[in-house]
Amino acid sequence: MAIPIKNSAAITKMREASAIAATVLYTLREHVAPGITTYDLDQIGRELMQKLGARSACYGYQIGSRRFPAYTCLSVNEEVVHGIGSMKRVLSDGDIIALDVVLEVDGYIGDNAITVPVGTISSAKQKLLRVTEEALRLGIAQATVGNRIGDISHAVQTHVERNGFSVVRDMVGHGVGASMHEEPQIPNFGRRGKGEIIRPGMTLAIEPMVNVGNWRTKTLRDGWTITTVDNSDSAHFEHTVLTTEQGPEVLTIPRLDSSPTVHALTA
């Protein structure tokens, strides 16, 4: 399947959707604190999207007969991705939580994620978050016209493994645009000079998923939540990136002057 190349009208819409997604994510992270439930965070995310005129691309997303029941993906500690907000999951001091916001505005998708500390976290968790975010930046730097997708993959994998962690191989980054998942697939592992050539006008969701222990994952009984097989901690960072002749442009940048105010649902 061909990789979609966005024209100027599509890029304008991608900029808007991505900016709103980033604004929601930035605002949502301000509510992360010990004592709040992941359900409450999900509802805050729902309210933020509504106030900014966006629709969650996660809610109702269907695979087979299963529909995703939450507005955001909230993954705690050993959960890699696709965690579902729950009243039973209360955040505690020392946890880490990945916040993944994917939304649609005017037919186009904005997609981004960040992993943040809950209260005070250990030095080991601090290193995991730092290395994963660094890997994202290094991957984005390789998203230059004329490079290949494998250059992104190799940059992520090399940095992660050099620091003693592992990259998830069961799930990958991807193109994004009018659909949440477009070509090309962007693994977080690979060889330089391999894969599709990067051309101007691609919009890519680059998203390292990094485990402390084994790279393998498993799916919980809810059919959605992905965790590490060895229950080691995992981190996830993601940006939507536009490829241009001038270099990669991160689209998921928040508009802080338009961040809506919402109130936490728990004391």
Q: Determine the average pLDDT of the residues in 22-49.
A: 98
State the Cα–Cα distance between residues 86 and 145, nearest whole angstrom. 42
Q: Determine the average pLDDT of the residues in 123-146.
A: 98
Reported confidence tier of residue 264, pLDDT bands at 50, 70, 90? low
Position 265 in a domain = no
CB 172 within 8 A of CB 204: no
CATH number at 148 reads 3.90.230.10
* Overall residue count recorded for the chain in this entry: 267
Q: What is the pLDDT of residue 263?
A: 58
Position 172 in a domain = yes
Position 105 in a domain = yes
CB 95 within 8 A of CB 14: no
Q: Determine the average pLDDT of the residues in 14-39.
A: 98
Token representation of residue 15:
């900029």
Q: Determine the average pLDDT of the residues in 199-217.
A: 98
Reported confidence tier of residue 259, pLDDT bands at 50, 70, 90? confident
Ranges 49-53, 185-189, 253-257: which has the least confidence = 253-257
**Number of domains forming the structure of the chain:** 1
Furthest-apart CA atoms within the chain: distance in Å: 52
Position 1 in a domain = no
pLDDT greater than 70 at residue 265: no
Reported confidence tier of residue 267, pLDDT bands at 50, 70, 90? very low
Reported confidence tier of residue 256, pLDDT bands at 50, 70, 90? confident
Reported confidence tier of residue 266, pLDDT bands at 50, 70, 90? very low
Please count the other Cβ atoms lying within 10 Å of the Cβ belonging to residue 92. Answer: 12
Helix H or strand E encompassing 43 = helix 38-51
**With 0-12 CB in 10 A as exposed, 13-18 as middle and 19+ as buried, what is 196?**
middle
User: For 161-177, what is each residue's pLDDT tens digit?
Assistant: 999 999 999 999 999 99
Token representation of residue 136:
């994202």
Q: Which residues are annotated as a binding site for substrate?
A: 82, 181
Position 230 in a domain = yes
All residues at 6 or more sequence positions from 231 whose CB lies less than 8 Å from its CB, including other chains? 78
Q: What is the pLDDT of residue 44?
A: 98
Q: Which residues are annotated as a binding site?
A: 82, 100, 111, 174, 181, 207, 238
Three-state DSSP at 28 gives helix
Q: Which residues are annotated as a binding site for a divalent metal cation?
A: 100, 111, 174, 207, 238
CA atoms within 13 A on the CB side of 47: 16
Position 2 in a domain = no
Position 139 in a domain = yes
State the Cα–Cα distance between residues 136 and 248, nearest whole angstrom. 13
Q: Which domain holds residue 12?
A: 8-258
Angle between helices 123-141 and 149-162 (to 10 degrees): 160
Q: Is the pTM of this model over 0.85?
A: yes
Position 267 in a domain = no
* 121, amino acid identity: I
Return the DSSP state at 200: T
Reported confidence tier of residue 262, pLDDT bands at 50, 70, 90? confident
Work out the mean pLDDT of the chain and round it to a whole number.
Answer: 96
